[in-house]
Amino acid sequence: MAAAERDHLMFDCICAGAQAFLSRDPGDAEILATIAEVSARPFTLAPGLTRKLIDEFVASAWRPAAARPPLLAGEPLTERENDILRLIVAGKGNKDIALALKLAEGTVKNYVSRILEKLNARSRTELAVKALKRRDA
């Protein structure tokens, strides 16, 4: 797995509620220390990952409200895209969405890609977070 992919995986895991994230090849001591730390505190990162997380946060997550891009990057979602987004928020995978909406799984993948683009999101997790924020707004 490329470093950029691993970084995105780490960010997705954190957004999904992970309480720890270890370095690529943790030794037994690091695993045991992380377990102890998580039980004592709600969140821990391997030291080398902290800088990446902070850099990503500064680069993309935190911006003054006036500087943030609009939630909808392009045109609004279609009714079908909204249906798919609701199922993503409910935690459904592409196969389940396809069954629920009587679509081919490949068609669902295409819709998900389009929704990611329209909402300027990098992952399904980020889509769900944005959808929930939009609903609460």
Q: Do 49 and 93 share a domain, yes or no? A: no
Q: Do 50 and 20 share a domain, yes or no? A: yes
pLDDT over 70 percentage in the chain: 66
Q: Is the residue at 36 inside a domain?
A: yes
pLDDT exceeds cutoff 50 at 70 = no
pLDDT exceeds cutoff 80 at 41 = no
Q: Is the residue at 73 inside a domain?
A: no
Q: Is the residue at 72 inside a domain?
A: no
DSSP string across 20-67 = EE--SS--HHHHHHHHHHHHHSS-EE-HHHHHHHHHHIIIII---GGG
Domain carrying residue 106: 79-136
Q: What is the pLDDT of residue 25?
A: 80
Q: Do 46 and 97 share a domain, yes or no? A: no
pLDDT exceeds cutoff 90 at 96 = yes
Q: What is the pLDDT of residue 100?
A: 92
Domain termination site, one of 45, 67, 89: 67
Q: Do 61 and 83 share a domain, yes or no? A: no
